[in-house]
Amino acid sequence: MKRAGFARGTLLALALIAASSALADDPRPSANFAGAWWIIGAAPAPWTEPRALSGWDALLLEAAIRFDNGEVRGPPALACKGARYHDTISSPQDVFGGRLSKGREYKIAEAMRLELPEISVIRVSCAQGRFEYYSNHDGDLVIAVGNLVYTLTHLDDSDVRLLVPGYNGPSFDCTKAANAGEKLVCTNLRLSKADREMGASFARLKRDETTASFATVQAAQRLWLAYVTRLCGATQPLPSFVGDQNPIRDCLDENYVDRAERLTGTKMVHAGALALEPRMRFFSKAKPFTEDSDIYPWMSGGPQAAPFNAYISKALALGKRRMDDRSLFAFGVDQIPETMPLSARRTYSVIRFDAKLASLQLATYDFTGGAHEVLGERAIDWDMARGRPLSFADIFAPGVNWQAFVTAWCVKDLKDLKDQFDEGAPAPDVPAVQPVATDIGNWMFDRNEAVVHFTVYTVASFFGSEYDVKIPYRVLKPFLKPGAVVG
C-alpha cells in the first residue's frame, strides 16, 4: 500500500496562503485530501490516562471513510452530509480544541508526529458538527473522537478496489498487534483481506467438519503461521523506516495471498450421509527454508469411507513428508542457497461426488530451486460401490477401440485450440496425445461428460497452460460398458 498524503511542498503552500488569509469554506475537498482514507491506528488521547486498548474501545479502527464533494462517507461517528471543507493551519496550543497539557503542547505534538511548527488542518463542517483532521510527518491524518486519537492513511486507486463496506481489518484484534508481521497486516489492505479470508475459511471449516478433521486444519494453520512469521523476519518489532518494512511486507504478501486462495477453495462436499472433508498437514525446516503444505481429501459418514481413506493414505504417502522426497529437488539440496525459500504444496478439487463415483483432481505446486514453480496434476477416480479406484476396464466395453476414438477426439480439440492462438505452431499429433488420453490418471468424470486433462506443455510448447478436453457421455456411449458408473 502506498502511503499517500500531503506533499511537503503543498503543505507549505497551504500554510503560506492560510497565514495571509483564511481559505473560504468549499464543498469540494482539496485534491490531496479527496478520496478514501483507512483508519489504521488508535491510541488513547494524550489528555487521558495511558491504557491498553481493545477492539471494543477502538470501534473505528480498520474502517474507511471517503471525502467526496459535499459529503464525508463512513461510519456514523465521522459521516458528514452537506460537508464544507476548510484548509488552514494551527499551533500546538490550539489543536484538539486546546486540550493538550499547558506548557507541554509542543512536546506532545512532536511525540504524535504532527507537522510542526505550524500544523496543517483540514476542517470539515456540516450539520453533524465540526471535525478537524491534522496532518502528520508520515503523510497521514489524525483525528480525535472522544478520548481516542485515530490515524488515517490515504489510499490510492489500487487500494480503493480492495475496500469493503465497514470493517477492512484482519481476523484478529489490531489493538493487540505486537510484532512487525501483525502490525503490517493491520496496515496493509491486501494483507488484511488475505488474513480475513483465511479467518473466514477457518471458521467455516470449524463449523462444518468433524472434530478429527478440523483438528488437522487447526494444527496445520498454526504451524503455517509460525513458519511464515519466521521466514519473513516478522517476529521483530516493526522497523521505523519504510524501506526496512518493505521486504517483510512483500514476503508476507506472497505467502498470505497464496494461503488465503488455497483455504478459500477448500470446502466440504456431501453425498447423502457421506462427506469429503479437507484435512491438512504442514511441515517445515529452516535450512533451506522449506514449506511442506498438504490439503488432502478424507471421507466420513459411512462404511464406504474406510477403503477410500486407506487408499488415500497409501497413494498420497501420508506417513511421509513430501519435502523429504529427494526426487523433488532436481537441482540437489546442497546446491540451493539457504536464503531461498522452497515449497512443496498439494491441494485437491472435487469434480464429482455421489453414490456412484468420487472424481477428484490432485494438484502439486512445487518450487524446489528451478526457474519457476512446477505444476503436477493427477486424477483420483473412486468407484463407490466397489470400493476401489476406477479403471478403464470398468468403463469401456471389451473389444472396442476406444483408445483411437478418444485420441482422435483430443487431437481435433487441441488442434482447434492451437489454431485460435498460433496458426504457425506445429499441430498436436497422435504420438504426443495418445499417452495422455489413454492414462486414467488424466481422466475426470463429471455428471454429463468425461474430461481428459492436459497439463502445462504436455503436448507442445505452445500449450503454456492447462487444458481440458471434454467428451460428452452421449458421444462415448457406443464404447461404454453396460451399467458403467460414469454414464
pLDDT at res. 20: 36
Quick check: 351 and 444 in contact, CB under 8 A? yes
> Is there a contact between 351 and 276 (Cβ–Cβ < 8 Å)?
no
CATH of 268-390, one of 3.40.50.720, 1.10.3210.10, 3.30.450.20, 3.30.565.40: 3.30.565.40
With b for 16 or more beta-carbon neighbours within 10 A and e for fewer, the 130-151 pattern comes to: ebbbbbbeebbbbbbbeebbbb
Asked if residue 204 has pLDDT above 50, the reply is: yes
Same fold, 268-390 and 394-479: no
Taking residues 248-265, what's their average pLDDT? 96
Give the integer Cα–Cα distance in Å for 272 and 355.
8
pLDDT of residue 460: 58
Domain limits, the chain: 8-168, 173-267, 268-390, 394-479
Q: Which overall architecture, per CATH, does domain 394-479 show?
A: Alpha-Beta Complex (3.90)
For cell 506472497, name the residue. 254
Residue 109 has pLDDT above 60, yes or no: yes
Given a contact cutoff of 8 angstroms between Cβ atoms, the answer to whether 363 and 376 are in contact is: yes
At residue 32, the pLDDT reads: 85
Q: Please, how many CA atoms are within 13 Å of residue 33, restricted to the half-sphere of its CB?
A: 29
Residue ranges in 54-114 assigned as alpha helix (H): 95-98, 105-111
pLDDT tens digits, 324-371 = 888 887 655 566 677 788 999 999 999 999 999 999 999 999 988 777
What DSSP designation does 136 have? Answer: B
Is 60 exceeded by the pLDDT of residue 424? no
Tell me: pLDDT of 454 over 70: yes
- pLDDT value at 91 more than 60: yes
**Helices 211-231, 189-208: inter-axial angle, 10-degree rounding:** 160
For residue 426, the model assigns a pLDDT of 61
Counting other chains too, the contacts that 143-146 makes at CB distance below 8 Å and 24 or more residues apart are 143/78, 144/45, 144/96, 144/97, 144/99, 145/60, 145/77, 145/78, 146/45
Beta strand 342-353 pairing with 449-454: unpaired
d(CA 222, CA 101): 45
Position 12 scores a pLDDT of: 40
Asked whether the predicted pLDDT for residue 240 surpasses 60, the reply is yes
**What pLDDT is stored for residue 11 in this prediction?**
41
The structure's pTM equals: 0.87
Query: What one-letter code names the amino acid at 120?
Result: S
Is the pLDDT at 4 greater than 50, yes or no?
A: no
- Judged against a pLDDT cut of 80, whether residue 56 lies above it is answered with yes
First to last CA, the chain: 51
pLDDT digits (tens, 9 = 90+) for 306-318: 999 999 999 999 9
Determine the average pLDDT of the residues in 391-411.
94
Closest among 388, 374, 303, 369 to 345, alpha carbons compared: 374
Averaged pLDDT, 285-291: 88
Q: Does domain 173-267 have CATH number 3.40.30?
A: no
Q: What is the pLDDT of residue 432?
A: 84
| pLDDT band at residue 17 using 50, 70 and 90 as cut-offs | very low
